[in-house]
Amino acid sequence: MNRYLAGALGGLLATVPMTLTMEALYRRLPRETAYPLPPREITEDMLHKVGQDRGFDDRQLTALSLFSHFGYGAVAGALYPLTRQQVEHPVIYGSGYGVAVWAASYFGWIPALRILAPPTQHPAQRRRLMIAAHLVWGAGTVWLGERLARERSRPPNARSSLAAPGDLS
């Protein structure tokens, strides 16, 4: 499979454990720091910027936030092959890639477009939550992406590398 497509699929799928991590850690936040998580904040701000912030109920905003969150996960996942042609340790490399995506987004384009303030202006617990979630996402994205990309060279009757138990390299 093409590495960019494999990265996109890996990023899309890795957004599941990332989102579960975000939700689990969100429940542990102190009440004063438990305002909406960035996917919801970004979605609401973008809707406001384009004049479409009325007429959405909570369920619709949640669905749109999840859709955009998973879409961004897929797009960011598709980009990791640009950073490295061969990944020997996908979980380790992916964790670093996940944190790099977090930094580029939350210190870069998100505050540049005045969507959210940079992480330094948010409580430390929220920064830790988002870094942990991006570690999970990055590790999963690159691990899955590399596994899917290897499928292209597998002989038709060979056993899938995705089925190999315990092989995390």
- Asked whether residue 42 is assigned to any structural domain, the reply reads no
Q: How far apart are CA 8 and CA 78, in angstroms?
A: 4
Is 60 exceeded by the pLDDT of residue 164? no
Name the band, by pLDDT with cuts 50, 70 and 90, for residue 163. low
Q: How many domains does the chain have?
A: 1
Q: For 36, what's the count of Cα atoms within 13 Å in the CB-facing half-sphere? A: 14
- Asked whether residue 136 is assigned to any structural domain, the reply reads yes
Least-confidence region, from 7-21, 106-120, 147-161: 147-161
pTM score, whole prediction: 0.87
Whole-number pLDDT of residue 165: 46
Q: How far apart are CA 132 and CA 118, in angstroms?
A: 17
Q: How many CB atoms lie within 10 A of CB 90?
A: 23
Cβ atoms of residues 81 and 72 within 8 Å: no
- Asked whether residue 91 is assigned to any structural domain, the reply reads yes
Tokens representing residue 154 in the block:
């597998």
One DSSP character per residue, 111-151 reads HHTTSS--GGGS-HHHHHHHHHHHHHHHHHHHHHHHHHHHG
- Asked whether residue 87 is assigned to any structural domain, the reply reads yes
- Asked whether residue 60 is assigned to any structural domain, the reply reads no
- Asked whether residue 61 is assigned to any structural domain, the reply reads no
- Asked whether residue 31 is assigned to any structural domain, the reply reads yes
Residues 10-14, mean pLDDT to the nearest whole number? 98
Q: What is the pLDDT of residues 72-109, one digit of tens each?
A: 999 999 999 999 888 899 999 999 999 999 999 999 99
Residues 107-114, mean pLDDT to the nearest whole number? 96
Cβ atoms of residues 71 and 124 within 8 Å: no
For residue 14, give its domain range: 3-36+69-153
